[in-house]
Amino acid sequence: MEPVSGLLLLLVCGLTAGCVAAAVVLWPRLGGPGARPLLARSGTLLATQALMTVSAVLLANRYFVFYATWNDLLGGDTAQVRVERVQPSGGVRMPADEPVRRMPTDLGPRRPGRERDPAADGRVDRLRFRGARSGLAAELYVYLPPQYFQAAYAGRRLPVVMVLADGAADGKADAGKDPSAGAMAWIRQGRLPSAADDAEGPGNAQPMVYAMVGQGHGCIDVPGRSAGASGLAETFLSQDVPEALADTYRLPRTRKGWGLLGLAAGGHCAARLAMLHSDRFAAAAALGGRFGLPPAPPAGPGGDPYGGSRAYRLDNDLLWRLENLPPPPVAVLAAAGTGGEDAREAERFTARVKPPMMTGSVLVPGSPGTLRQWRGRLRPVLEWTGAHLRGE
């Protein structure tokens, strides 16, 4: 049982409840003068407090997944994959500064009544690494579907979708303080692994790998900001993350198998990365995304995220790009609620798309703005995304 195991939490909470009940029932018998009653009362209080503390810590760890495995907690993990990169000059392969740390977790779907089996349930891994080009440290959660572990798919490379959030767990947290909270929100609030599992099947979405990234640094390279100081977020998402994933898992070698999905600011980033890096990505889906300038990007020197360049500012406005630049050969989905500005923004975007670029729209009732509200509405988005990606 891992630290995030529901069975472990149930056992500890049950033991805590039993200890509290025993303390209440036995307390009158532990009264009286002398050292022995005093030690008995003190021991009862200490045991009860200790168990309540452990229960609270386990509950918090299960929700936020600070430590997914005992190896992660104790520092004994050996599941490391060293990333290599090819230098432009000479093609000499050089080891990256730090390895990718892969840690299986207990966060994936599970059928009740039997042991967890990756070939039947899939698996969620946690990855930690530092981008070789951007210098940014990252924590990702990767959902591998059951087919990834099945013998029938051993020779296949499943499509992969990089899933972006604005770093906010259910739209409330500060992305800058804990970018990984956005990645975890796709599991906790969005229930993405379960949604992907439900969407897969004959005539529906194909099995795909989902890499959830909390990009609290935005998604543009800010002029004048150095590597490692959130200044190379675009480099991190378009180069470092795909490279780390490709060197860790069995994924497509061409752009046709790589896609993006994002919510709110992450939706803008998903569309932007696909349009500006069509050599890496073939499709993107934006949930409630805006398609003008990036929302509140990190500021550069002097407070201007575009370094005072009007050309660079316009280059980051997706609606301006659609009207003034050749369209890229990618497919972008605009998904939004029928009420509010998101639907009008999606209409403005899709109306400007011209071949070879392709687009589509998914409108759902209401005005969903958080992953919890999008939870039951992800299936058509995943089916559309899967239809525009190709495995190998």
% pLDDT > 70, the chain? 81
Q: How many helices (H) and strands (E) does the chain have?
A: 14, 12
Superfamily of the domain at 83-387: Alpha/Beta hydrolase fold, catalytic domain (3.40.50.1820)
214 and 183 Cβ atoms separated by less than 8 Å: yes
- pLDDT score of 93: 41
264 and 369 Cβ atoms separated by less than 8 Å: yes
More confident residue, 306 or 321: 321
pLDDT in tens, 22-31: 888 888 887 7
Give the pair of three-digit tokens for residue 161: 């979708």
Residue 75, pLDDT > 50, answer: yes
- Give the range among 22-36, 75-89, 162-176, 342-356 with minimum mean pLDDT: 75-89
Residue 274, pLDDT > 90, answer: yes
Rounded average pLDDT over 25-47: 84
- Give the range among 36-45, 67-76, 272-281 with minimum mean pLDDT: 67-76
Beta-carbon count within 10 A of 268 CB: 28
pLDDT in tens, 78-105: 444 444 444 333 333 434 455 788 988 8
Exposure of 369 in the CB half-sphere (CA atoms within 13 A)? 7
pLDDT confidence tier of residue 32, bands split at 50, 70 and 90: confident
Q: What is the mean pLDDT of the chain?
A: 82
Beta-carbon count within 10 A of 377 CB: 17
1 and 62 Cβ atoms separated by less than 8 Å: no
**Beta-ladder partners of 100:** 81
What is the Cα–Cα distance from 340 to 367, expressed in whole angstroms? Answer: 6
Strands 209-214 and 137-144: antiparallel
- pLDDT score of 92: 35
pLDDT confidence tier of residue 357, bands split at 50, 70 and 90: very high
The winner for highest mean pLDDT among 73-77, 80-84, 329-333 is: 329-333
- pLDDT score of 291: 87
Give the pair of three-digit tokens for residue 359: 């687009």
Q: What does the buried/exposed string (b/e) look like for 98-125 if buried means 16 or more CB atoms within 10 Å of the residue's CB?
A: ebbbbbbbbbbbbeeeeeeebeebbbbb
Q: Please state whether the predicted TM-score (pTM) of the whole model is above 0.85.
A: no
Q: How far apart are the first and last CA of the chain?
A: 36
More confident residue, 5 or 104: 104
Q: Which residues contact 61 (CB under 8 A, 6 or more apart)?
A: 3, 4, 67
Residue 64, pLDDT > 70, answer: no
What is the Cα–Cα distance from 17 to 28, expressed in whole angstroms? Answer: 19
Rounded average pLDDT over 341-365: 92
What is the Cα–Cα distance from 194 to 284, expressed in whole angstroms? Answer: 20
More confident residue, 179 or 30: 30
- pLDDT score of 200: 82
pLDDT confidence tier of residue 205, bands split at 50, 70 and 90: confident
298 in helix, strand or coil?
coil
- pLDDT score of 275: 96
Q: Where do the DSSP E strands lie in 97-188?
A: 100-104, 123-130, 137-144, 160-165
Containing 128, the helix (H) or strand (E) segment is strand 123-130
% pLDDT > 90, the chain? 39
Domain boundaries, the chain: 6-64, 83-387
Residue 209, pLDDT > 80, answer: yes
- pLDDT score of 166: 63
- Tell me 376's DSSP state: G
Rounded average pLDDT over 123-131: 91
CA-to-CA dists, residue 12 to 15, 20, 54, angstroms: 5, 12, 8
What is the Cα–Cα distance from 257 to 280, expressed in whole angstroms? Answer: 9
Beta-carbon count within 10 A of 326 CB: 9
- Tell me 378's DSSP state: -
| Closest CA relative to residue 365, chosen from 380, 351, 352 | 380
